[in-house]
Amino acid sequence: MIHPIDAQLRALFQSGKPIRGLFNGLASPALVEMTAFAGYDFTIIDNEHGSAGLETTEHMLRAARASGLPALVRCLEHDIARTLDAGASGLQIPMIRDAEHAKQIADKVRYPRSTGYAGISGQRGCAYSVRAAGYGAFGGVTHNEKSNQDVMLVLMLETVPAIEAAFEIASTPGVDAVFIGPNDLAHSMGYENRFQDPAVQAMIEKGVKGIARSGKCAGVLALTPEDEQRYASWGARYFASVITGILTKALKDNASAGRGDVVTKISY
């Protein structure tokens, strides 16, 4: 039997190699499968800005597991428990404020007596009737231990104070990776969505280097190969793009084919 929780995700993030993921805010299990067939390393089901409800999220997780694609779910803090019970192999939590906030999140993700995580006071509630525990087929202490060991936790830094605390946040026990959200960071700095501005890029560089110094995997949105190369030179390994931007560009290019020179520009 295949366990709902996919240990491939942790192996990917601990590989030391560059990894490429795709944010998917569209409520479609088919797009999850297409992401797998396209060759992405993993997907991020986006329930912060996406439209999927919990039932559809569970189906998207099934599609990911069936197609062999590791999947994170970006969800809001109040959705942590139900998203984990749906069988998410990893969570990506936005808008982390500081190291104390990071610890609070790490405690919510782990069961009590967290195996292998010194300094964590697990607060996750136990229920073995849920998909994550195979509806009881994988229940009990074995499920708790597997969840504590294999479920990934990625935190997001999207403000200047969070960037300033990047090393401390990344060093928090139970945090596996830290991702910088450049769009919200730019807004918090007064640059609207202009995250390519040198001042915003300097702040991203500071954050990436702080995360990398902690020994944890540093991630950032990278919409072009040039972005990826630049962030990699600062120490990032987790690079993500956005499915809507890719699809919209492909559709615009197809719609405008043969109608003259049209430059397609997509905003994140």
Cα–Cα dist 172/157, whole Å: 14
For the question of residue 49 being annotated catalytic, the response is yes
DSSP E strand boundaries for 98-257 = 152-157, 177-180, 217-221, 238-242
75 Cβ contact partners less than 8 Å away, ≥ 6 residues apart: 47, 48, 83, 88, 91, 92, 93
Tokens of 82: 């139900």
| Torsional class of 16: left (φ above 0), alpha (ψ -120 to 50), beta (otherwise) | left
Q: Looking up tokens 């997509």, which residue turns up? A: 266
Interatomic CA distance for residues 5 and 3, integer angstroms = 5
Which one of the listed residues 49, 59, 78, 101 is annotated catalytic?
49
From the DSSP assignment, how many helices (H) and strands (E) are in the chain? 12, 8
Rounded Cα–Cα distance for residues 96 and 166 (Å): 10
Distance CA 155, CA 176 (A): 8
Among 101, 44, 109, smallest CA distance to 81 is for 109
Residues annotated catalytic, as ranges: 49
